[in-house]
């Protein structure tokens, strides 16, 4: 890789690190310096370690765990762990704001109480209500009122990994105890 590409890569990485870093403003380079390109030693000094990134992510998840959660625990350790939920035919699994689902088995459809869909992060698209959810795809629920329900074509057990708040309702609207 030539020197110009290395500098461009280092500059891009530096921008990303400075944007997502929790460092104070005092440690950021001051505007108007004569050389806006960083050195490799500066980059290595200010690079976040994998452990620090994990700590920042865990802290952010714990800070957002206090939303409506359908009776699940909001302790940081509970929010960071996935729970396996079995969904029966006739039930609907609703997500709390910020929750994540991964459908592991069975055929399910996206459910939404408005025209907005569910972000399928793995597939890179929005799933409108009524769309079949692919197995092992990560779904993130930005707001409440969205979830999944068994497809009429389903003929097997449905297991879903859930992180965050959720609520299971029977077809008659009654809550399923957790």
SS3 58: helix
DSSP letters along 72-98, please? ---SHHHHHS-EEEEE-TT-EEEEPTT
User: So what's the pLDDT on residue 80?
Assistant: 62
SS3 139: strand
User: So what's the pLDDT on residue 115?
Assistant: 84
Say if residues 122 and 138 touch (Cβ distance below 8 Å): yes
Element (H, E) at 53: helix 50-63
pLDDT tens-digit map of 12-26: 666 666 555 554 445
CATH class of 76-169: mainly beta
Nearby residues of 108 by Cβ (< 8 Å), 6 or more positions away: 87, 132, 133, 148, 149, 150, 151, 154, 158, 160
pLDDT tens-digit map of 65-114: 544 444 444 444 544 688 999 999 999 999 988 999 999 999 999 998 88
CA–centroid distance for 164 within its chain: 10
Average pLDDT, the chain: 76
Which residue, 122, 59, 63, 127, is CA-closest to 95? 127
Give the CA angle between residues 146, 176, 68 to the nearest 5°.
45
More confident residue, 81 or 151: 151
pLDDT, average across residues 20-49:
58
Q: How confident is the model at residue 47 (pLDDT cuts 50, 70, 90)?
A: low
User: So what's the pLDDT on residue 1?
Assistant: 58
Q: Say if residue 61 is exposed, middle or buried (CB neighbours under 10 Å; 0-12, 13-18, 19+).
A: middle
Q: How confident is the model at residue 124 (pLDDT cuts 50, 70, 90)?
A: very high
Say if residues 74 and 98 touch (Cβ distance below 8 Å): no
pLDDT of 9 above 90: no
CATH 2.60.120.1030 domain extents, the chain: 76-169
Please, what sign has the CA dihedral across residues 122, 124, 126, 131?
negative
More confident residue, 144 or 102: 102
Element (H, E) at 102: strand 99-105
User: So what's the pLDDT on residue 73?
Assistant: 43
Poorest-pLDDT segment among 58-67, 113-122, 125-134: 58-67
């Amino acid at each position: 890789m030539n020197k110009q590409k290395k500098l461009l890569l280092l500059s891009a990485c530096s921008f990303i690190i400075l944007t997502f870093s929790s460092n104070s403003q005092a440690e950021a380079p001051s505007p108007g310096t004569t050389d806006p390109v960083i050195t490799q030693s500066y980059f290595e000094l200010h690079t976040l370690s994998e452990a620090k990134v994990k700590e920042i992510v865990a802290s952010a998840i714990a800070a957002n765990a206090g939303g409506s959660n359908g009776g699940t625990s909001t302790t940081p350790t509970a929010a960071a762990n996935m729970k396996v939920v079995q969904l029966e035919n006739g039930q609907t699994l609703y997500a709390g704001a910020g929750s994540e689902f991964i459908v592991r088995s069975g055929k399910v459809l996206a459910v939404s109480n408005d025209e907005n869909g569910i972000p399928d992060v793995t597939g890179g698209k929005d799933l409108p209500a009524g769309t079949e959810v692919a197995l092992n795809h990560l779904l993130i629920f930005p707001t409440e009122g969205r979830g999944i329900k068994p497809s009429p074509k389903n003929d097997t057990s449905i297991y879903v990994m859930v992180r965050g708040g959720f609520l299971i309702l029977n077809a008659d609207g009654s809550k399923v105890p957790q």
